[in-house]
Chain A
Amino acid sequence: MSTVELKPKDLKSNQEVRWCPGCGDYSILNSVQAVLAESGVKKENMCVISGIGCSSRFPYYMGTYGFHSIHGRALAVATGTKAANPDLSVWVATGDGDCMSIGGNHFIHTLRRNLDVKILMFNNQIYGLTKGQYSPTTPKGQVTKTSPYGAIDAPFHPLNLALGAGATFVARTMDTQPKHMQKILKAAAEHKGTAFVEIWQNCVIFNDGAWKEWTTKEVRDDRTIDLVPGEPMLFGKDLEKGLHVECCETSIVGKEEATTWKADTASPVPGFLLAQLDNEPDLPNAIGIFRQVEQPTYDGLITEQIDQVTSKKGKGTLKSLIYTPDAWTVD
């Protein structure tokens, strides 16, 4: 399908990448460049928009068009950019604080409109750029600089927030599995509508090991399950175990009895259920694609309305704008 020959290095900018050594962001940058290079989109039609935070430095490292905006507002900026030019492939790089705290309003409204942008939320459960305050995804009880006696705020479940807001594509991946990440990013790129991808990202400095319960090599086969629409829900080193869902109970079974995962049910309830397996210590935590449904996009509808009205009323001119039938002439 590729019509443009692009290599990942063509998508690098001339700016030095300045994330901390060992930061999970490097892996995300490489994966995005790999997936976009193969996406068939022309380089000049790629646009990366961000807010504020470590993740939001992302546009500076991409050789594409890019806009590093203000805290929490990337999606609002992206709404204008995508509406102005629906041919663009617009990607938003954001973090748990930028997206779900200061930008929470834009987040839910972008999802309900189904604007055709790809949202990559780097979730490290901490404010990194301001050096270690609790974020809206920090677990209760965690000690941070602003919660010296433990955080008392209940955290958001990002996937559930997205599902509840009517998201048409919801997925999760992690910085330590580039292959999985690229598979998910490719699916997101191909989705027509808002694609929300939560990326478990490790902040080596201020919240090291936040996801290690699920992400380290030693545990991840048994402690995570990759949801693949249309496939049985299997996990374990040799995919020998299955997950059985009978609303609203989830249990571990042999691979033969595993439920086939459907991400396009009329109701997003199965996605909700599987998005919070972390509440159940005996079950693996889910990554992969939680929801994938087709709906008209906001930018598509804007263009459609303009075309409809224009074909009905005729293309507006300066004259038709100013000289209307209610005008009168004085000679």
Chain B
Amino acid sequence: MTTEVIRQEDVVIRFVGDSGDGMQITGSQFTDTTAKVGNDLATFPDFPSEIRAPAGTRAGVSGFQIHFSSADIFTPGDGPDVLVAMNAAALIENYKDLKPGGIVIANTGSFTDKDLAKAKLESNPLEDGTLGAFRVIKIDINERVIQALADSPLTKKDVLRCKNFYTLGLMYWLYSRPVEPTLEWLAAKFKSKPELVDANQAALKAGYNAGSIHELFQGRYEVAPQQNVAKGTYRNIMGNEGLALGLVAGAHMADLEVLLGSYPITPATDILQHLAKMKNHGVITMQMEDEIAGICSAIGGSYAGKLGVTTTSGPGMALKSEALGLAVMTELPLVVVNVQRAGPSTGLPTKVEQADLFQSLYGRNGEAPIPVLACSSPADAFDCAVEACRIATQYMTPVILLSDNYIANGSEPWKLPELDKMVHFPVVRPEAGDDPYLPYRRDEKLSRPWAVPGQPGLEHRIGGLEKEHETGNVSHNPENHQMMVEMRLAKVMGIRKTIPTPEPHGNDGDLLVIGWGSTYGAIRSAVEKMSADGMKVAHLHLRHVFPLPEGLPEIFARYKQIVVPELNMGQLARVLQGEYPEFRFKPFDKVQGKPFTAFELREMFTEMLEVVS
């Protein structure tokens, strides 16, 4: 039997099921295999904050979206071409995102009356016309897995838990991917439980074979490897892992070791988990008793000569704010990572938002300037973490590095840096001389020397009280306070001399789109398409949010209009409006716990262009 192979350039698949159905594993295995095939890709998982909401309900739906392509891509895709739904609740929560004419692959085994009731459905969406606009492929995956594993020693319940690998096998067949990488992964993953290796491998193969045997599909698809990929070595990377690697790499660049004080919080916990494994890099990780202890222990570590790091999300950031002021006053290096989530308060812990920008810039008592960086993608997270380490150690300052849920859990191929091209910034310790050590004598960057306990002859005291210029002694002198406040600000503003002016991407003229953080991909996709169509639209993305790079007004002047899309109520727009009042920055806001789609941005930008012309 021959099966037609249809070539596609670009596919978005979304796997959805109950949070107990293993959708994240299915998605990440599909991702790893796809990376090995050589496609460009971007992924985004979407899971509930409850670990196990009641099975089969809408609250318990967990999803994983992958966008893969033969061409360059920037986002996990707006809506899926293919929706793989493991139960009724997952289908009903997701089908509206499907592109018109998209494919639904539904596990009919979980569309019984009971399943429909749990999903609060009065009729079966597979039968009642709900899916009229789509191609629906019905497979009773539950039954197929039970048949395929008839000889397995596992209980029926455990057999059914293999259905995600059956589904994965089916999708591997449909998209012409090899099963071997996942077979190997399963063998390693369940090394001590051979019966689980056998069952899951059998389910995967059964799913794969079902594709060809059962003629469920009219053909299979192929997404050819990406052509014209820049030469180099690549890894598929998730945002939190990129941050962890970047922090350790940054410490290597500074000839230091990382000391992380942290407290578990979604969606930042992975960074702590990754770093905890990196002990052979001299990394100390301490899971502290609370967020405050996390940052304070990091400050104590920096005082003793480590690269102090703390990782958190918005609510934890709020708790750390007093200690951030201490780091400003004591002028110690510190990297604070805030993986933002939707707020305020506990908010939507597993959903994306960029609403902690004001908190990062202003959320402290007193005049407490802290450099703020924002990473724009999982791969960029690495570079930004290294940059944060550079600024922290070279300028003796805390640095806030903003990521978010979308970057943290998304993944993409990462072109590994060439080691000999990475720039070192080794820390140089002061040495004891004849004169008394002056802990607050500044260098040309206005940075102070960093002597650490254990160095003879440099004994000194620091703390949160205002410091006297040079000596660092406690001082209540009014002129000294004014000078020190100005000096701390001037030091941070001086960082501008070492940061490049970003270049807009696209066509000069009508519209400049300014973004920061994880909106990069959606903005880039939208602008790329519009500028390819000849429109005078360009995209400028800011990595350094404070201080802002030099040369921006000259760029702004090249456009008739400027728009700032953000997943908040216009925070960067207001910062820019205050900083550059001679220009008008139009905010474009979205706060739904969801990223922008390239489509909605394109519509918005097109509308702005039409109004003017």
Interface residues of A (CB under 8 A from B): 13, 15, 42-45, 47, 49, 52, 59-60, 62-70, 73, 76-85, 87-88, 105-106, 109, 302, 305-306, 309-310, 312-319, 321-324, 326-331
Contacts and interface: CB of A to CB of B under 8 A. Distances in A.
A78 B234 CA distance: 41
Contact of B461 (A13, A85, A310): A13
B300 A79 contact: yes
Contact of A68 (B252, B422, B464): B464
Contact of A80 (B35, B292, B304, B461): B304
A327 B304 contact: no
B284 A83 contact: yes
A302 B252 CA distance: 20
Nearest to A65: B453
Given A65-B459, A65-B461, A321-B245, A85 B289 contact: no
A43 B459 CA distance: 8
Interface of B: 32, 35-36, 38, 229-236, 245, 248-249, 252, 259, 261, 278-284, 286, 288-290, 292-293, 296-306, 308, 322-323, 325-326, 330, 416-417, 419, 422, 452-465, 473-474
Contacts of B306: 80, 84
A84 B284 contact: yes
Contacts of A65: 453, 459-461
Given A63-B459, A84-B300, A84-B301, A76 B292 contact: yes
Contact of B280 (A47, A109, A313): A313
Given A76-B293, A328-B35, A49 B419 contact: no
B364 to A, nearest CB: 12
A82 B284 CA distance: 12
A306 B282 CA distance: 6
A306 B463 CA distance: 30
B416 A322 contact: yes
Nearest to B462: A67
A323 B280 contact: no
A52 B290 CA distance: 19
Most buried by A among B233, B279, B280: B280
5 nearest A-B residue pairs (beta carbon): A68-B463, A80-B300, A76-B296, A316-B281, A84-B304
B249 A321 contact: yes
B497 to A, nearest CB: 27
12 contacts: A60-B461, A80-B298, A84-B303, A105-B290, A306-B280, A306-B283, A315-B280, A316-B278, A316-B280, A322-B249, A328-B36, A329-B232
A306 B284 contact: yes
B280 A314 contact: yes
Given A68-B462, A69-B326, A79 B234 contact: no
A59 B462 CA distance: 9
Contacts of A106: 289, 293, 296
A11 to B, nearest CB: 10
A81 B453 contact: yes
A109 B296 contact: no
A176 B368 CA distance: 43
A146 B353 CA distance: 43
Contact of A83 (B297, B454, B459): B297
Given A83-B284, A315-B280, A328-B35, A109 B289 contact: yes
A42 B249 contact: no
B346 to A, nearest CB: 20
Contact of B304 (A66, A69, A81, A329): A81
B245 A70 contact: no
B303 A67 contact: yes
A326 B305 contact: no
A79 B286 contact: yes
A327 B323 contact: no
A87 B453 CA distance: 10
Contacts of B248: 316, 321
Given A15-B473, A85-B304, A328 B233 contact: yes
B308 A80 contact: yes
Given A59-B461, A330-B231, 16 more contacts: A44-B455, A45-B454, A67-B463, A69-B464, A73-B293, A77-B299, A83-B301, A84-B306, A87-B454, A88-B453, A109-B293, A321-B252, A322-B416, A326-B236, A328-B35, A329-B233
Contacts of B235: 324, 326-328
Nearest to A73: B296
A79 B473 contact: no
Nearest to A298: B286
Residue of A65, A88, A315, A319 with highest tally of chain B CB at under 10 A: A65
A300 B35 CA distance: 42
Nearest to A326: B235
Contacts of A52: 464
A158 to B, nearest CB: 18
A280 to B, nearest CB: 34
A81 B303 contact: yes
B465 A85 contact: no
Nearest to A45: B454
Nearest to B260: A80
Interface centre among B232, B281, B416 (most CB of A within 10 A): B281
Given A80-B303, A306-B279, A319-B419, A105 B461 contact: no
Nearest to B248: A321
A80 B452 CA distance: 13
Nearest to A309: B279
B233 A323 contact: yes
A126 to B, nearest CB: 22
A330 B228 CA distance: 10
A243 B452 CA distance: 49
